[in-house]
Structure 1
Amino acid sequence: MKYHCLSIIISLLIIFACGSKPEQISANQTSGIDQKPIQGMVLIEGGDFTMGTNDQNSYPSERPAVLRKVASFWMDETEVTNKQFAAFVEATGYVTVAERKPDWEDMKLTLPPGTPKPDESLLVAGSLVFVAPDQAVSLDDISQWWQWVPGAYWKQPEGPGSDIRGKENHPVVHIALEDAEAYATWAGKRLPTEAEWEYAAKGGNNSRFPWGNELTPAGNFKANTFQGAFPHQNISSDGFDGTAPVRSFTPNDYGLYDMIGNVWELTSDWFDAAAFMREKAMAPALDTTISKCYNPENPYAIEKVIKGGSFLCADDYCINYRPSARRGQDVYSGTSNVGFRCVKDV
């Protein structure tokens, strides 16, 4: 059995529900911050906001809504691109997690105690790749569309024989937590907290999506998501099958692109499925990261929060293209629909 693939697939088994309009309060932003512009970044002025939702049609991990406060920060306008990540690799010689032979000591931390070590022939470098099936399949079995592909990594996103030529401005994918943190450190930045990310994604608005209450107002697509019958039939009404170049859609009111759709984005917070329940009575406080991971769907998981949904979020499956939606991502692995963007302290 390919235990590495198994451990990652287990970490992706989240039970999805339909999303709807979250209850929010208006963002209370500060003003008067005197900062020199940083190329490619947007200054997000801090304030109080409502994080999560009270809507019972949302996913349980989003509820209940809690009041949070974030300090001002800079955020990348876009997801980190292949071109930007290539510059980092060229400057440092960095080798991503997907390019390395899996470490059994790390793997067994995410598996039930006593799981035997697989044969060495199965411990090969690679990553999880979305491969659309030829026909309709059960949505309860994600192995029908996720495949462990030896040799898949950021520069070969579909595996050997694929490349990123012509996709220099697409978001980099197959990025594990360690990879994202290494890039951020090199760039003099860091990963956003979940609260920073959600605050920025909402753009100061009280609507279901950053742009309003309709996914496609007047038939206009505002994000790269999945149209059609998931996972086998993407009719690509938004113009894209897979990732899209950054800045392909209009930015939110803060000037940030692709906060919804395209690729999921890593944050620095550990995924705690019950985090908001524990904070139910908490008054607004400065944002702090969650210090413990908890996912009842995958009790052995070591996961960070990812936000924003991706090009694989569809009306009939993963309705995570909302700022309040959240999911856990295995820290030791990347996939073909997970990327990141960075922030910088003011």
Structure 2
Amino acid sequence: MLPDRRFLSTEDWSNLYKERAGRTMTQKVAFIGTGVMGKSMAGHLMDKGYELTVYTRTKEKAAELLDRGAEWAATVKEAVADADYVITMVGYPSDVESIYLGEDGIIKSARKGAFLIDMTTSKPSLAKEIAEEALKNGMHAVDAPVSGGDVGAREARLAIMIGGEKEAYTKCLPLFEAMGNNIVHQGPAGSGQHTKMSNQIAISSGMIAACEALAYAEKTGLDPEDVLKSITTGAAGSWTLQNLAPRMLQGNFEPGFYVKHFIKDMRIAKEESEQFGLNTPGLDLALSLFGQLEEMGEENSGTHALYKLWKQQQ
């Protein structure tokens, strides 16, 4: 209860009212999965004043967030119990299925009225199943995979592709705006994941092209860094050339996005393409080349480590 306004100055009463209103309106977010991208995304939500609870299988990965004041939960069930929003950013569809639909998973543990946001790149069919189960239990679920890698996550410049009810999208929009700057509602449940498959198909061939271009520049005796200055702003320009090609040349193959996760994404894209009878020769080649990279033990490197296949030829 606020004190009697008669005993406070107008300025003091106004400040106290704003402070109390802010506390009342603070919304709780459970963030599950604080890896390469997730920790930055969760941090942006804290910057916007959301009360954050985190859960990840390796607590050390959440250390920065915990140091900033986030709460730690020992289980998924504990993390989501009183959350207004639940965000997941994990590795594989099997992880998503377990976390949402398991015995102590989100659907059975979150409160009615909660909004569930899966930002993992996963199967469209699974996104639809989660949305249906959420509605049966009085919740709302959207699939919202992202693109932009570690750089986009750090700088809150992610592209976010959303599938689900329009009303749920609108309700979750302030959270999306804290993490990204290209936010599009693509349609009903599963649409976000289908859009992400289009994104990954485009990246797969683009990564091959970037590697070939740099290898050609080096083979012909050019300075590849100077070549990049020319081609990144011309018709060949791409996110991969601008952000990942310099890392290739530096020999820095730390993950902004893991090879193993990209292979997972491409396999989902291939399965979905086959269901629609779509021929994808570029995707097929990328799967083959990234498979070779995985066999070299590079599954935990960044996707731009594909360049190592060309470096072997020198």
TM-score in same-fold range (> 0.5):
no
Larger RCO: 1 or 2 (CA < 8 Å, sep 6+)? 1
TM-score by length of 2: 0.23
Q: Which has the higher helix share?
A: 2
Q: TM-score, normalised by structure 1?
A: 0.22
